[in-house]
Structure 1
Amino acid sequence: MSSSLPGRILAIDYGNKRVGLAITDPLQLIASPLDTIHSQDLVKFVLDYHQREPLAAVVVGMPRTLLNEPTDSTSAVVGLLRRLRRELPAVPVHEIDERFTSRLAKQAMLAGGLGRKARQDKATVDKVSAALILQSFLESPFANDSPDCRHW
C-alpha cells in the first residue's frame, strides 16, 4: 500500500556506520535502491532530498531479534524516528520490521546475477536491503497514513 500523499517514499536501512537508502518512483509503485551514505549525514541528506523532491513518506527499518525483541541498534533507530518526525512534521514517518533484509538482499543480488565481489560489498547490500524494506512497506496490508504505523 502506498501513501495517499503525492511524492516519493524514501526507505532507510540504518546502521551505525552506513545507511542504505531506497526510493519509489513518483507513482509509488516500484522500490529502487538509491544510495548508501554515512550515518552522520543521514538527516541532512533526507532534508535536502525533500527540498528537491517532496517526500510523501519515510519508512525506517526497525531492527528486532528473531524473538521480536530490541537489538543494540534499536535505541539509535528510535532516536532517528523522533528526529525525522520533528524535522519533517508534515511527512509521515513509518517503521517496519527489517529482520532478514540483509540476507534477502544477498539472495536477490545472487538471483540478479551480481558477482561475488558485488554481493560482498556492504554498501550495495545496505541499499538493496533498503529497497526490500520499501517494497515490503508498499505491499504491506498494515501500512496506512498514520505516522506511527508499526509492522512488527
Structure 2
Amino acid sequence: MGRIMALDIGGKKTGIAVTDTLKIAAHGLTTLPTSELIDFLSTYTSDEIVERILVGFPRHPDGKPSSNSPFIEKIAKKIAEKFDAIEVEFVDESFSSRDAKEAIIKSGAGRKKRRDKELVDKIAAVIILQRYLKHI
C-alpha cells in the first residue's frame, strides 16, 4: 500500500507530512527549502510508495486564491509532470499554519519552539493531511 503525502508549500520552505502505509496516522517528515522539493521527492519516492500528494492551496477567507496561489500551482504542476504515476491533488489549507502554532503552544513547547517556522510548516502539513484523512 502506498502512502499519502501532504505539502505545505511556501516561497522559501515546504513542510512535508506522510501517512503510515495503512493510511491511518499522519506524521511530520521534514521541512526543507522549496527549491529542493523535487529532488527530495525523487529520493523519497525511490524508497517509498507514494500514491497521492496533497498540495495545500491557500485561499483568503472569502474563498479567493491568495497571492501565493500561482506560485503553488506552478510547483504542483512540476510535481505532477515529474511524478506522473502519483496523483497530485489540491486541498484547502485554510488556517493550517495558525492551527499548527496553536498545537505547538498546547504541547507546552518553549518560546523558541513556538517561533520555529520550520516546525510550524511541518506541523501545518500534518494538519492538512489529518483533515484529508478524516474525509476518506
Q: Which of 55, 58, 65 matches 1:63?
A: 58
Q: Which of 115, 118, 129 matches 1:120?
A: 115
Please give the secondary structure, in 2, of the residue aligned with 1:93: strand
Letter in 1 for 2:134: E
Letter in 2 for 1:57: R
Residue 72 of structure 2 corresponds to: 77
- Please state which structure has a larger fraction of its residues in helix: 2
- Using the TM superposition, give the Cα deviation of residue 55 of structure 1 relative to its aligned residue in structure 2, in angstroms: 0.5
- Using the TM superposition, give the Cα deviation of residue 90 of structure 1 relative to its aligned residue in structure 2, in angstroms: 1.2
Please give the secondary structure, in 1, of the residue aligned with 2:94: coil
Residue 83 of structure 2 corresponds to: 88
Q: Deviations over 1:45-77 (max 9, x none)?
A: 112100111102111100111111111110011
Q: Which of 92, 95, 105 matches 1:97?
A: 92
- Using the TM superposition, give the Cα deviation of residue 140 of structure 1 relative to its aligned residue in structure 2, in angstroms: 2.2
Q: Deviations over 1:4-60 (max 9, x none)?
A: xx2111110000000001111111111111101001000111121001111021111
Question: 106-115 or 121-130: which moved more?
Answer: 106-115
Residue 46 of structure 1 corresponds to: 41
- How many Å separate the matches in 2 of 1:107 and 1:61? 18
- Using the TM superposition, give the Cα deviation of residue 107 of structure 1 relative to its aligned residue in structure 2, in angstroms: 0.9
Number of aligned pairs? 136
TM-score (ref. length: structure 2): 0.96
TM-score (ref. length: structure 1): 0.86
- Using the TM superposition, give the Cα deviation of residue 115 of structure 1 relative to its aligned residue in structure 2, in angstroms: 1.4
- How many Å separate the matches in 2 of 1:12 and 1:47? 15
- How many Å separate the matches in 1 of 2:71 and 2:82? 16
Unaligned runs of 5+ in 1: 1-5, 142-152
Matched, 1:36 2:36: no
Q: Which of 10, 18, 23 matches 2:13?
A: 18
